[in-house]
Amino acid sequence: MAAKRTTARKVVKAAKAVDPIKAEVVARYLLATSEEMGATLMRTAFSPNIKERADCSTAIFDARGEVIALAQRVPIHLGSMVGAVDEILKRYPLNEILPGDQFVANDPYNGGGTHLPDINIIAPVFIGKKIVAFVANIAHHADVGGMVPGSEAAVCKSIYQEGIRIPPVRIMREGKLNRDVIDIILLNSRTPAERIGDLNAQFAANNVGTKSVLQLFERYGVNDTAATIAAYLDFTEKRFRAAINRLPAGRYVAEDFLDGNTEGERCPIRLAMTVGHGRIDFDFAGSGKQLESARNIPYRALLATVYTVAKSLLDPEVPANAGYYRTLRITAPAGCVVGPVPPAAIGCRSISASVLGDVIANALSQAMPHKALAGSGPHHLYVLAGSDPRTGAYFVNYETLAGGMGARANRDGVDGVRVHASGSSNLPVEALEHAYPFRVERYALWEGSAGEGKYRGGMGVVRDYRVLGDDIVVSLSSERQNVAASGMKSGGDGALGAFILNPGTPHEQKLPAASGEMALPRGSVLRICTPAGGGYGAAGERDAAASARDVREERLARQTD
């Protein structure tokens, strides 16, 4: 079966030496610009998912489409933007792209996004008649159509069930909105007022980025700025190759499992990682076939996860740009779970990518045991929808709740945190109760959920929702309710996650790990328990002071009521 792969670009070398201080100033300026774009997007967005949970990302690309600055928000969104400029340039000749144009895309099989709720908006930056850069942002829209509210559920079997699919098309022409495209997007959403508000925020973020990038090129000149950016990418590549060269050369194999097509079935993610001179090859041959559910990981999400985990373990401070991507070669057979082909559903790729992140971290841990990382507990997804009795308006509340990070070789895991390539926040209780007909009656770390060990894993989270409406439904998606996050070096596994209806009552019911549009009666309570991280080392080796702290902080009794 043919393999997909990344290909290294030819690097345009600077014609003359570049001042390293100037290069750092330019790089920091561009990073600050991407952060400013993110702040603009969040502060002008309409939906709680973006303005409160920060489920969005911003980036700047050079004229050839290489990432030169990426705001540190949601790493998996990188996969939604990598290659997006290439796709625009394939479809639109340069002479047809004009100042003030902006493009929209969301389809992973047609040049945009890693799942359909993530909508990319991309804009060129012009000096005169020449494109010198691109600015882009991505925002997770709470509903873009499909068979379930929220446009994301593990039970979807085809991408056609997941919502509207948008190839790269022009949504703004010379600063004027293309109303035809907007109308198609809005008609496909259950919450069109939110969609237009969030799209306008995305346009505004790109306008801010365009203005700032333009000022940089005007200050230093087109040629000098481009040469400085190219030199900074080269520096990033050189620095990351040095980090790779500190690893022992060799081949390292790792495996973990997603839930399969039927209850109790498992789907393997297998990795053979080869460390060479200044390069690492990640080969996912042997991974299971693409699933008949939305747990598949599209290829660009695979890239984003590898890039993120490799950076976090090898050199967390390396600049987040395309320079270090050149050192990593990633291959996956077409039609496998980490390289699906149409019409495979891919909506829940972020949860699956957390398990993928464990596989990558396991292989890297073998090569660098002093920085080893045990298995982690991914977030759980739940989409609550219905009519708000206070207003009569239909709502879609897209939420994810963090799990626990695995223990390290020298420290405990982090409690209640998004792991690997995932990164958005939990929705604050006050914002939730203000916007939607629910009352949060419990929100706490899950005592005793962490994997035991010399260093314990991070604890999962427990959150209870009291339903205050009459026609509320929920769609549930998860991983690690059947396959626990593994401990390392005799460390214990993390607790499995769970969805529970009416906990602690005679009507308590454990819900499936995946479901679509399940009715929640008024007054019922939905409990989400997220999976915890695995421990590192034997529990008997835990330091006495750390054990005493565990007792004092009530971390030991594993319970859900």
Instruction: Please answer whether residues 495 and 560 qualify as being in contact, where contact means their C-beta atoms are separated by less than 8 angstroms.
Output: no
Let me know if residue 60 belongs to a domain. yes
Let me know if residue 336 belongs to a domain. no
Distance (Å, rounded) from C-alpha 76 to C-alpha 307? 9
Distance (Å, rounded) from C-alpha 514 to C-alpha 475? 7
Domain that holds residue 48: 11-238
Contacts of residue 17, defined as CB under 8 A and 6 or more positions apart, other chains included, come to none
Distance (Å, rounded) from C-alpha 558 to C-alpha 554? 10
Distance (Å, rounded) from C-alpha 337 to C-alpha 253? 17
Rg of the chain, C-alpha, whole Å: 23
Integer angstrom CA distances of residue 260 from 114, 148, 496, 502 = 20, 21, 16, 28
Could you give the 3-state DSSP secondary structure of residue 381? Answer: strand
Chain segment 203-234, per-residue pLDDT in tens: 999 999 999 999 999 999 999 999 999 999 99
Distance (Å, rounded) from C-alpha 122 to C-alpha 132? 14
Q: What is the pLDDT of residue 78?
A: 73
pTM of this structure: 0.94
* Number of compact structural domains in the chain: 2
The order of strands in the sheet holding 56-62 is: 67-70, 56-62, 130-140, 118-127, 102-105, 169-173, 176-177
Q: What is the pLDDT of residue 421?
A: 84
Nearest to 296 by CA among 331, 326, 341, 246: 341
End residue of a domain, out of 238, 271, 301? 238
End residue of a domain, out of 238, 256, 284? 238
Distance (Å, rounded) from C-alpha 339 to C-alpha 290? 8
Contacts of residue 215, defined as CB under 8 A and 6 or more positions apart, other chains included, come to none
Residue 349 one-letter amino acid: R
Let me know if residue 337 belongs to a domain. no
Residue 180: φ, ψ to 5°: -60, -45
Strands (E) across 486-550 are located at 498-501, 509-510, 515-520, 525-529
H helix runs in 318-417, sequence order: 349-367
End residue of a domain, out of 238, 260, 284? 238
Q: What is the pLDDT of residue 158?
A: 98
Nearest to 86 by CA among 110, 51, 52: 110
- How many Å from the N-terminal Cα to the C-terminal Cα in the chain? 49
Residue 105: φ, ψ to 5°: -160, 150
Nearest to 531 by CA among 388, 454, 439, 422: 422
Let me know if residue 463 belongs to a domain. yes
Structure tokens at 438: 């629910």
**What is the mean pLDDT of each successive set of 10 residues along the chain, which is 561 residues long?**
41 63 95 96 96 93 92 72 85 95 95 90 96 96 97 96 96 97 98 98 98 97 96 96 98 98 94 97 98 96 94 94 95 98 96 97 98 97 97 96 97 95 88 97 96 97 97 97 97 98 97 96 98 97 94 73 49
- Within 10 angstroms of residue 427's Cβ, the number of other Cβ atoms is 23
Instruction: Please answer whether residues 374 and 534 qualify as being in contact, where contact means their C-beta atoms are separated by less than 8 angstroms.
Output: yes
- Which residue is listed with tokens 């690309």? 61
Residue 452 one-letter amino acid: E
Peptide bond into 342 cis (omega under 30): no
Distance (Å, rounded) from C-alpha 311 to C-alpha 147? 37
Tell me the angle at which helices 222-245 and 192-220 cross, rounded to the nearest 10 degrees.
100
Distance (Å, rounded) from C-alpha 73 to C-alpha 41? 12
Q: What is the pLDDT of residue 11?
A: 43
Residue 516 one-letter amino acid: G
Integer angstrom CA distances of residue 106 from 146, 166, 289, 290 = 14, 5, 24, 20
Distance (Å, rounded) from C-alpha 365 to C-alpha 484? 18
Contacts of residue 544, defined as CB under 8 A and 6 or more positions apart, other chains included, come to none
Could you give the 3-state DSSP secondary structure of residue 280? Answer: strand
Let me know if residue 302 belongs to a domain. no
